[in-house]
Amino acid sequence: MSGVSGMTGFGRAEGASGDWSWSVEARSVNGRNLDVRFRGPPGFDRLEPAAKAAAQARFARGQVTVGLQAKRAEAGAAGLSVNAEVLDRYLKLAKDLVKGGAAPATADGLLGLRGVLEIPEEAEDEAAHAALEAAMAADVERALEALKASREREGAQLAPVIGGFIDRIEALVADAEREAGAQVEAIRERFSRRMAELAPDAPGLEERIYLEAAALAAKADVREELDRLTAHVASARTLLQQPPAGRKLDFLMQEFMREANTLCSKSATTALTATGLDLKAVIEQLREQVQNVE
């Protein structure tokens, strides 16, 4: 039962280049289809289509969210410059305030005023920006690979659980096949008792009982339902060997339940009805687990 993958997981990667550093987190939850969402820093527009393409190459279903946070180191003192024009205006204002009795301005006070110190924006050529974006995209891929590994670990835990439910369904179908043999006799006995109560002296009663019981038994024949349930068990096992199989398994669960419902509606014995109800309960438990399969 190898190859089963879940839809819940988490992956993370970190990277740095020059004065940039970043971290990527990729997480996913269950989803009927594949839905990829990306959040990244402004100015790196090519990362979103790259992230979506990378996720689509790895996953078939699930809501996948990729978040990239990046920051740039602040420039050191060597990169600072003083705007002389702005400083002169502040100095003139400071002199007027001193004449009015204010304390003289200090150097650190002046440097802290808005616009006095300037941090020059470094011009980043297109090639350097593209290289930075490519480095970030590589770490997006690493985070998605980690997410994929996480989903595969979930699948490895799901596989034996799902296999156990399929085995249980197979055993219940075998029980139902044995119990179905008692259907005809139960119907004949029930019909005979009712006819004897209603018309004990009616001519040809035994023949009528036989014919009516045979007709009712034909309607209560569950061999087709049991055959289809057996075929569904085989299909489920085959699908688990051919991932991604989540959508097909979802549909197969509906077919399982349809046959179990029909089995219960045709049942003429308490034993077969009880087995049919157990079958429905196990199918529902299996359906809940299948919802986690990619």
pLDDT at res. 187: 64
pLDDT at res. 219: 61
pLDDT at res. 89: 86
Cβ contact 68:24 at 8 Å: yes
For residue 151, which of 9, 294, 1, 293 has the smallest C-alpha distance?
A: 9
Judge whether residue 189 has pLDDT over 70.
no
Residue-wise pLDDT for 205-236, tens only, equals 566 656 565 555 556 678 889 999 999 999 99
pLDDT at res. 116: 76
Residue 162 in 3-state DSSP? helix
User: What domains lie within the chain, and their CATH numbers?
Assistant: 9-73+124-151 (3.30.230.70), 81-118 (no CATH), 153-290 (no CATH)
Judge whether residue 202 has pLDDT over 60.
no
Among the residue ranges 158-162, 169-173, 194-198, 281-285, the one predicted with the least confidence is 194-198
DSSP state of 256: H
**Ordered DSSP codes for 40-108:** --TT-TTHHHHHHHHHHHH-SSEEEEEEEEEEEPPP-GGG-EE-HHHHHHHHHHHHHHHHTTPPPPPHH
CA distances from 34 to 26, 57, 76, 150, 170 (A): 14, 11, 45, 17, 32
pLDDT at res. 1: 40
Q: Distance between CA atoms of 48 and 36, rounded to whole angstroms?
A: 10
Identify any residues that bridge with 227 across adjacent strands, giving them in sequence order. Answer: none
Residue-wise pLDDT for 134-188, tens only, equals 999 999 999 999 999 999 999 999 999 999 999 999 999 999 998 887 766 666 6
Residue length, the chain?
294
Q: Report the pLDDT averaged over residues 11-19.
A: 94
Confidence of residue 99 (pLDDT cuts 50, 70, 90): confident
Judge whether residue 267 has pLDDT over 90.
no
Judge whether residue 269 has pLDDT over 70.
yes
Confidence of residue 18 (pLDDT cuts 50, 70, 90): confident
The more confidently predicted of residues 49 and 109 is 49
Q: Report the pLDDT averaged over residues 89-114.
A: 80
pLDDT at res. 275: 96
Judge whether residue 203 has pLDDT over 60.
no
pTM of the shown model: 0.72
Q: Distance between CA atoms of 54 and 59, rounded to whole angstroms?
A: 9
The more confidently predicted of residues 74 and 68 is 68
- Residues contacting 202, CB < 8 A, separation 6+: 195, 208
Confidence of residue 59 (pLDDT cuts 50, 70, 90): very high
Residue 27 in 3-state DSSP? strand
Q: Report the pLDDT averaged over residues 186-202.
A: 61
Q: Distance between CA atoms of 157 and 151, rounded to whole angstroms?
A: 10
Residue-wise pLDDT for 29-52, tens only, equals 999 999 999 999 988 989 999 999
